[in-house]
Amino acid sequence: MSEIPIKRIAIFGSTGSIGTQALDVIAANPDKFSAEVLTAHSNDELLIQQALKFNPNVVVIGDESRYAKVKQALASTDVKVFAGEKSLEEVAAMDCYDLMLAAIVGYAGLRPTLKAISHGKAIALANKETLVVAGDIIMRKAVENKVPVIPVDSEHSAIFQCLVGETRNRIEKIILTASGGPFLGRKPNYLVNVKREHALQHPNWTMGAKITIDSATLMNKGLEMIEAKWLFNMKPEQIQVVIHAQSIIHSMVQFEDGSIKAQMGLPDMKLPIQYALAFPRRIKNDFPRYDFKKINNLSFEEPDIKTFRNLALAQEALHKGGNLPCVMNAANEIAVYAFLKNRINFLDMTDAIEKTMQNIPFIEKPTLEEYFDSDGEARNFAADLIKL
């Protein structure tokens, strides 16, 4: 067998939950991957440590006030240091890497990912908000530039894995599993009092703060329905959500003959990260294995969208399309931020998102500029509502 060249990886958001786990995967496979770009928003200490360990070509620190510190700490190396939001796009266009792991959280990940696609870079996509905001444009540009978009989100990785070898076969529906988060089975009279610390305790996954809150409100599953629509070219009616509290089945595909394929394993993001980096190969590893004897009771139930209204709002956005998912995403980012700062309570998040969705003018086929504008308008509207 001929030797496979080392894949040069750019991790946008290297200091986050996905980013650090991706670096663990790279460190375990130095013959397969090298980390060539690392970026962080404000965690300069960790970025410096990562740069000293992995010796990338370039690092970017988003917060410009931290540039001098990073530059000085790396003075004895030949790592290039950039700072500021614009640099993310400049670096995304560089020749020094082959594949971008898009692991920035939220809308901030959109522009660098677009830039990488326009430069023909393969994308391993963790940042689901990118597809929620402008999925039509992202997927169209990916096709135009012959760029693969490989999902990292565990549900979408599961579906992607189920679809290998099935290119000619029609999908009847995809079934996204959801753990239900820490408040599964709870009702609004309970949710009204839950605090930040409680919402940040996810039963099955350890993740960044924003996605952990989104998992508690079920907005995360709503974002994932929209993500699935674009990744797999599905109609909204073909996407179903089922609560599966154990997070062992990561999602399923039902084909037109009724057969259902599922991808299973313990909840561990390193597996979908490794799969996306190495695709189409699988790599041997020592991650803990699922044991039927230990977890032998898998359950499935309908989501309670009357209580977890964010999921109902996301379903509305999924069906209506246009700029509504973008508006919803922007309002959600503002609401989650306000909740994390203890400025609003758990259920207020839904009210702010709903009112923003009702008030920002609908655009059926937005241009990229119109998505940017809708995002800005929705943020301002939601922030005014919450009085941030």
Cα–Cα distance between 324 and 326 in angstroms, integer?
Answer: 5
| Token pair listed for 3 | 């030797």
Under 8 Å between Cβ of 363 and 374: yes
Q: Does 135 engage in binding with ligand NAD (CB under 6 A)?
A: no
Strands 58-61 vs 80-83: parallel, antiparallel or unpaired? parallel
CB of 135 to Mg ion, least distance (A): 16
Please report the beta strands in 169-225, taking only residues with DSSP state E, as ranges in sequence order: 171-178
Which residue's Cβ lies closest to ligand NAD? 16
From 97-105, 140-148, 194-202, 371-379, span contacting ligand NAD (CB under 6 A): 97-105
- Residue 241 pairs in a beta bridge with 176
From 67-75, 101-109, 304-312, 348-356, span contacting ligand NAD (CB under 6 A): 101-109
Closest to ligand NAD by CB, 190 or 290: 290
Q: Does 147 engage in binding with ligand NAD (CB under 6 A)?
A: no
Cα–Cα distance between 40 and 18 in angstroms, integer?
Answer: 12
Which residue's Cβ lies closest to Mg ion? 153
Q: How many CB atoms lie within 10 A of CB 337?
A: 21
Build a one-symbol-per-residue string for 351-370: x at contacts with ligand NAD by CB under 6 A, - elsewhere.
Answer: --------------------
Residues 6+ apart with CB under 8 A from 143: none
Q: Does 125 engage in binding with ligand NAD (CB under 6 A)?
A: no
- Order the strands of the 260-264 sheet from edge to edge: 239-243, 171-178, 249-255, 260-264
Cα–Cα distance between 193 and 263 in angstroms, integer?
Answer: 36
Q: Does 181 engage in binding with ligand NAD (CB under 6 A)?
A: no
Which residue in the set 58, 81, 269, 327 belongs to the binding site for ligand NAD (CB under 6 A)?
A: 269
CA dihedral 286, 47, 37, 100 (to 10 degrees): 60
Closest to ligand NAD by CB, 67 or 205: 205
Residues 51-80 within binding reach of Mg ion (CB under 5 A):
none
From 136-144, 200-208, 347-355, 370-378, span contacting ligand NAD (CB under 6 A): 200-208
Q: Does 62 engage in binding with ligand NAD (CB under 6 A)?
A: yes
Which residue in the set 207, 278, 334, 338 belongs to the binding site for ligand NAD (CB under 6 A)?
A: 207
CB of 217 to ligand NAD, least distance (A): 13
Residues 15-34 within binding reach of ligand NAD (CB under 6 A):
15-19
Closest to ligand NAD by CB, 127 or 217: 127
From 167-175, 204-212, 275-283, 348-356, span contacting ligand NAD (CB under 6 A): 204-212
Residues 123-162 within binding reach of Mg ion (CB under 5 A):
153-155
Please report the beta strands in 167-293, taking only residues with DSSP state E, as ranges in sequence order: 171-178, 239-243, 249-255, 260-264
Q: Which does 129 bind (CB under 5 to 8 A by kind): Mg ion, ligand NAD, none?
A: ligand NAD
CB of 333 to Mg ion, least distance (A): 17
Which single residue is written with the structure tokens 């530039």? 145
Cα–Cα distance between 108 and 127 in angstroms, integer?
Answer: 9
Q: Which does 127 bind (CB under 5 to 8 A by kind): Mg ion, ligand NAD, none?
A: ligand NAD
Residue 288, phi-psi category: left (phi > 0), alpha (psi -120 to 50), beta (remainder): beta
Residue type, 354: E
Q: Which does 16 bind (CB under 5 to 8 A by kind): Mg ion, ligand NAD, none?
A: ligand NAD
Strands 7-12 vs 99-102: parallel, antiparallel or unpaired? parallel
Residues 6+ apart with CB under 8 A from 108: 41, 85
The torsion angles phi and psi of 141, rounded to 5 degrees, stand at -65, -35
Summarize as ranges the residues that interact with ligand NAD (CB under 6 A).
13-19, 40-41, 43, 62, 103-105, 108, 126-129, 153, 205, 207-208, 210-211, 269
